[in-house]
Homo-oligomer: A and B are copies of this chain.
Amino acid sequence: MTLMEKARNGKTDTIMEEVARQEGVEVEFIRKGLAEGTIVIPYNTRHKNLKPKAIGEGLTTKINANIGTSEDYSDIEVELEKLRVAINNGADAVMDLSTGFRITETRKAIIKNSSVPVGTVPIYQVAVETLQAGKAIVEMTVEDIFNVIIEQAEDGVDFITVHCGLTRAGIEHLKREGRITGITSRGGSFLTAWMKHNNRENPLYEYFDRLLEIAYQYNLTLSLGDGLRPGCLADATDRGQIHELLVLGELVDRAREAGVQTMVEGPGHVPFNQIKTNIKIEKELCKGAPFYVLGPLVTDISPGYDHITAAIGGTMAATAGADFLCYVTPAEHLGLPTVEDVKEGVIASKIAAHAADVARGNPLALARDKEMARARKNLDWESQIKLSLAPEKARKARKERNTRERDVCAMCGQYCALKIAEEALN
């Protein structure tokens, strides 16, 4: 039985209890959300030592860190280090997006070492193995795709990105309107090329029922990918993107009917003033399915600093109702992230998630900021460091600059407003 089915049968279990504790909500709230599909808990029982995390309406905002090898950087140990750094800095989930050598071995190692849910994009493996077999990507077969999905589910993957809503009709809308950056989703580009070459519909759409059967069997959470997500601000919220979302909404209905947990993926590059609309339209078209957004990036011109750009968009998105933020690292648009990039990306995303939780009035989030405010007022530096989202950096900066070891800081020194005002106000 899937978690969704169990919840619909009015049953709770230790997984639901655990996430209820994390969130400070009643387990019934979790059960109801799971039953209605507004909450998902990516959880594959084959993934050992997994600490469950819930994503969705009424919960704290979760963040995901993409890791994984590429052709040019294909070291499993480095990816495991990224995994550790991501989790230590607060990632709620990771995705293994490997396209390098030893792709299966990499995935197994990541799942084995991850205490948080692990997601993948199975079509990457299909593409890599098709090329390795000396064929072109467009020559992958429908069987290849489903075989890899089953293989990954067997390995213990908790959620998979599947671009099921990318259809021939959607591509026609995109082509008629025109775009600057075309398609920037890798999965989206593979499938588009496949559809054109084979003159067939997207197999993940055509055989969606088969996908649902597999997902049901493994309690796999489907993350319905946005193959036509905009790759620049000018392409945002266009007809190709919205057509795909409309199809995804229909697929959410079908997945729910089949008792399969489902979330929906969203952009991407979106001007700040269009983010709220993007969230609201997803929530409407997909009937409250958890929304998993990449960034969004609020400008195209900050390579090297896209973790900041994404944190800006992510805060707006989550405040407006997005449930799950995919981090972006400083390496975005430039290359595969390093371990350090992963760390900076996670922290930036965590700031966005927390700021949004505060804006949404989450009691746990509000309490933490209040505690920090009190520590600050009391010039209690040890508590300030402990309460911070990135204690390591805060401690280092405090230590390096506070050479005279005073209770004030090296910016204001004896002109510390808090101290001066304390006396004056009493």
A389–B302 touching, CB < 8 Å: yes
Q: Contact at B186–A412, with CB atoms within 8 Å?
A: yes
Q: Is the CB of A273 within 8 A of B377?
A: no
Note all chain B residues with C-beta closer than 8 A to A333: 376, 384, 409
**Interface-forming stretch among A15-23, A26-34, A43-51, A189-197?**
A189-197
Contact of A335 (CB < 8 Å), options: B73, B192, B397:
B397
* Contact between chains at B410 and A190 (CB < 8 Å): no
A262-288 CB mask vs B (1 if < 8 Å, else 0) is 000000000111000000000000000
Q: Answer yes or no: A393 CB below 8 A from chain B CBs.
A: yes
Smallest Cβ distance from A36 to chain B, in angstroms? 26
For the complex, is A133 an interface residue (Cβ under 8 Å from B)?
no
The answer to whether A376 and B413 touch across the interface, beta carbons within 8 angstroms, is: no
Does A292 lie at the interface of the complex (its beta carbon under 8 Å from any beta carbon of B)? no
Can you list, as one digit per residue, whether each of A366-408 has a CB less than 8 Å from chain B (1) or not (0)?
1011101110110000001101111001101110111110000
The 0/1 profile, CB within 8 Å of B marked 1, for residues 162-190 of chain A is 00000000010011000011111110111
Taken together as a complex, chains A and B put the C-alpha atoms of A273 and B418 apart, in Å, by 26
Which residue of B171, B337, B370 contacts A180 across the interface (Cβ within 8 Å)?
A: B370
Which of A99, A186, A190, A355 neighbours the largest number of chain B CB atoms within 10 Å of its CB?
A355
Count of identical protomers in the assembly: 2
Q: Known contacts A234-B370, A335-B410, A415-B124: does B181 contact A354 (CB below 8 Å)?
A: no
Query: Nearest-CB distance from A341 to chain B (Å)?
Result: 9
Do residues A232 and B373 form an inter-chain contact, with CB atoms below 8 A? yes
- How far apart sit A192 and B302, CA to CA, in the bound complex (Å)? 42
B335 and A409: CB pair below 8 A? yes
Contacts of A304 in B (CB 8 A): 388, 390, 393-394, 396-397
Contact between chains at B190 and A420 (CB < 8 Å): yes
Residues from chain B with a CB closer than 8 A to the CB of A360 are 273
Let me know if B312 and A397 touch, CB within 8 A: no
| A298 beta carbon closer than 8 Å to chain B | yes
- Least Cβ distance of A275 to chain B in Å? 9
Return the 10 tightest CB-CB contacts between A and B, nearest first.
A335-B401, A232-B373, A183-B421, A304-B393, A189-B417, A335-B410, A272-B359, A273-B359, A189-B420, A71-B413
Q: Which residues of A contact B (CB under 8 A)?
A: 70-73, 99, 124, 127-128, 131, 137, 171, 174-175, 180-186, 188-190, 192-193, 195-197, 231-235, 271-273, 298-305, 307-309, 311-312, 315-316, 319, 330-331, 333-338, 347-348, 351-352, 354-356, 358-360, 366, 368-370, 372-374, 376-377, 384-385, 387-390, 393-394, 396-398, 400-404, 409-418, 420-425
| 18 residue pairs A–B, Cβ–Cβ below 8 Å | A71-B415, A181-B418, A182-B425, A183-B420, A188-B421, A232-B373, A233-B370, A271-B359, A301-B354, A301-B388, A303-B394, A312-B355, A331-B411, A333-B384, A334-B398, A334-B409, A334-B411, A335-B409
